[in-house]
Chain A
Amino acid sequence: MTCDEVRDLLPAYVLDALSEAELTAIDEHLSECSEHIEELAELRDGTRALEGAITERAPRAALRTAILERASAPPTDGGVDGSTRPAPITLRPATPPRPWWRSPAVAAAAVVLVLASVVGASMLVSGGDGDSGVIVRQVEAGATPGLRVEYDGGQAEAVISPLQFPSAPAGRTYQVWVIRAGAAPASLGLIADPAEPTVIEVSLEAGDVVAITEEPDGGSAQPTTDPIVAVEI
């Protein structure tokens, strides 16, 4: 980058209004060229005016501790070169949002309400067959697909009936999960044909949530999409 090119970009540079590549190129140029020191200082005075007007805010005390702890960490070989710098101290959970099955409301009943709102206007219907001991839970299909779960505790067997599910898109499949309070979802298997009931051997407990998600062919170890429908046992 020539001095003229740098001069042209300096206002955007002090505002950080350049691409990362441009910012880096100018950083490099400025580290070797003293031609621009005066102009840079003048432009920086402009951004100082902005900084000075911004309301000050006190960060949490934990931030000070984290920074000083990180700075005090014993230096590793290579020192401060960046290649061996200590890892940042995280003050909060990692960036990806909490998965849907681990919502702050721990109680499965609350979870299923959240899930029910996810699936829209579906109506939760429950019932039982007193004679055979079969528990039936159903989310009626409405604007979105529904789900009927029949569970026979004696047989440890559940019949999962997707209601008005479209065929899975090419390369995708439907996967059934059970979510027990406080635990990660466990796969109950794939649905070969969403038009047919699927019989699954499983031991369910009251409060378990059965959910169906769309996953890549072959299924996933953990759900990768929001549930299409979910029902609490």
Chain B
Amino acid sequence: MTGSTLLERLRAGDVSALAELYDETSRRAFGVAHAVLRDDAEAEDAVQEAYIWVWEHADRLDPARGRVESLVLTIVHRRAIDAVRRRARGVARAERFAREHDGHTADAADANIEALDNEPALESVRHVLDSLPDEQRAPIELAYFEGLTQQAVAERLGIPLGTVKSRLRLALGKLRAGLAAPRAGTGGGP
């Protein structure tokens, strides 16, 4: 089943096409959402929203811009970032409330911050991230997995915005090159 045919069926309102798309991509989609959100329920919400978005916008999707199987992952990531930013705003509110109210809700805020600790979630991508120089890896982690804007990345790392922009561009180029070249140690080939 090619992507364009699947897209045509989605456009025609064929629910079985959505089921096929889901069956083919949902494990990767949930993996991406979970890597950002680290919470099953929130990750499920992001995944649900992404597939429904694709379903409702199938008539506007341009096959020239990539396969729908890839697009759904792009949208899942966007939804997950939206959710992690909403949560971060909630934590900021809880912290402010705790400061104003003598620490009564500080525990709740701490629990949320703990949930944002991303180390275990990054384990599986570690070998890919490790292929990047340190100064490129940090901006990618903060942006792609923590949901920081490039402006916030610049503030967090104490470097100029222009530097963040160029590091993100360089890092994506390197990641792409790594994708094209077979990785060492992942296969049994010669």
B and A form one assembly: yes
- A-side interface residues toward B, CB under 8 Å? 8-9, 11-12, 14-20, 23, 37, 40-60, 63-64, 66-68, 70-72, 80, 82, 85, 88-89, 91-92, 97, 225-226
CA distance A52 to B176 in the complex (A): 11
A17 and B153 in contact (CB under 8 A), knowing A54-B125, A59-B30, A72-B15? yes
Q: How far is the CB of B72 from chain A (nearest CB, A)?
A: 11
Contact with A along B159-179 (1 / 0, CB 8 A): 000000100110111111011
Asked whether any CB of chain A lies closer than 8 Å to the CB of B81, the reply is yes
5 pairs from A and B in contact (CB 8 Å cutoff): A12-B165, A15-B140, A37-B65, A40-B65, A89-B48
Residues B144 and A47 in contact, CB atoms below 8 Å apart: yes
Given contacts A47-B144, A48-B179, A57-B31, contact A64 B172 (CB under 8 A): no
- The CA of A42 and the CA of B173, in the complex, are separated in Å by 8
Contacts of A97 in B (CB 8 A): 108
Determine whether B28 belongs to the interface, using a CB cutoff of 8 Å to chain A: yes
Q: Which residues of A contact B150 (CB under 8 A)?
A: 12, 17-18
Question: Of A23, A44, A59, A71, which is within 8 A of B55 by CB?
Answer: A71
A114 to chain B, nearest CB (A): 13
B45 x A55 contact (CB < 8 A): no
A12 to B165, CA, bound (A): 7
Q: How far is A88 from B28 in the complex, measured between Cα atoms in Å?
A: 21
Distance from A222 Cβ to chain B, minimum over Cβ atoms (Å): 17
Contact: B65 with A51, CB < 8 Å?
no
Measured between beta carbons, the chain A residues less than 8 angstroms from B144 are 15-17, 47, 50
Interface size class of B (residues with CB under 8 A): 35 or more
New A-B pairs, 18, CB < 8 Å, besides A40-B65, A49-B128, A64-B23: A15-B140, A44-B70, A45-B172, A46-B173, A49-B175, A49-B176, A53-B125, A53-B127, A54-B124, A55-B31, A59-B27, A63-B26, A64-B26, A66-B48, A80-B56, A91-B41, A92-B41, A97-B108
Within the assembled complex, what's the spacing in Å between the Cα atoms of A14 and B171?
Answer: 12
Which A residues are in CB contact (< 8 Å) with B18? 67-68, 71
A49 cross-chain contacts in B, Cβ below 8 A = 128, 175-176, 178-179
Q: How far is B64's CA from A37's CA once the two chains are assembled, in angstroms?
A: 8
Collect the chain A residues with CB atoms within 8 Å of residue B55's CB. Answer: 71, 80
Q: Determine the residue in chain A with the shortest Cβ distance to B55.
A: A71
Q: Give the Cβ gap from A176 to chain B, nearest Cβ, in Å.
A: 19
Residues of A within 8 A of B45 (CB): 88, 91
- For B59, the chain A residues whose CB sits under 8 A away are 80
Kindly state the separation between the CA atoms of A165 and B13 in the bound complex, as whole angstroms.
64
Give the residues from 95 to 125 in chain B that come closer than 8 angstroms, CB to CB, to chain A.
Answer: 104-105, 108, 123-125
Q: Does the CB pair A12–B143 fall under 8 Å?
A: yes
Is the beta-carbon distance between B128 and A50 smaller than 8 angstroms? yes
Query: Which of B51, B66, B70 makes the CB contact (< 8 A) with A67?
Result: B51
| Proximity string of chain B (1-41) to chain A, C-beta cutoff 8 Å, 1 when within and 0 when not | 00000000000000100110011001110111011000011
Contacts of B43 on A, CB cut-off 8 Å? 57, 59
Residues of A within 8 A of B165 (CB): 8-9, 11-12
Q: Which B-chain residue is minimally distant from A22 (CB atoms)? A: B149
List A contacts of B105 (CB < 8 A): 226
CB distance from A64 to the nearest CB of B (A): 6
A44 CA to B8 CA in the complex, in Å? 23
With the chains together, A42 CA to B140 CA distance in Å? Answer: 16
Cβ-defined contact, B19 with A44, below 8 A: no
The one of A8, A47, A57 in contact with B77, judged by C-beta atoms closer than 8 angstroms, is: A47
Residue ID in chain A nearest B173 by CB atoms:
A46
Contact B74 A44 (CB under 8 A): yes
Residue in chain B with minimal CB distance to A86 = B52
Name the 7 nearest CB pairs between A and B, nearest first.
A46-B172, A17-B143, A56-B27, A55-B124, A49-B175, A46-B175, A45-B176
B172 touches A11 (CB 8 A): yes
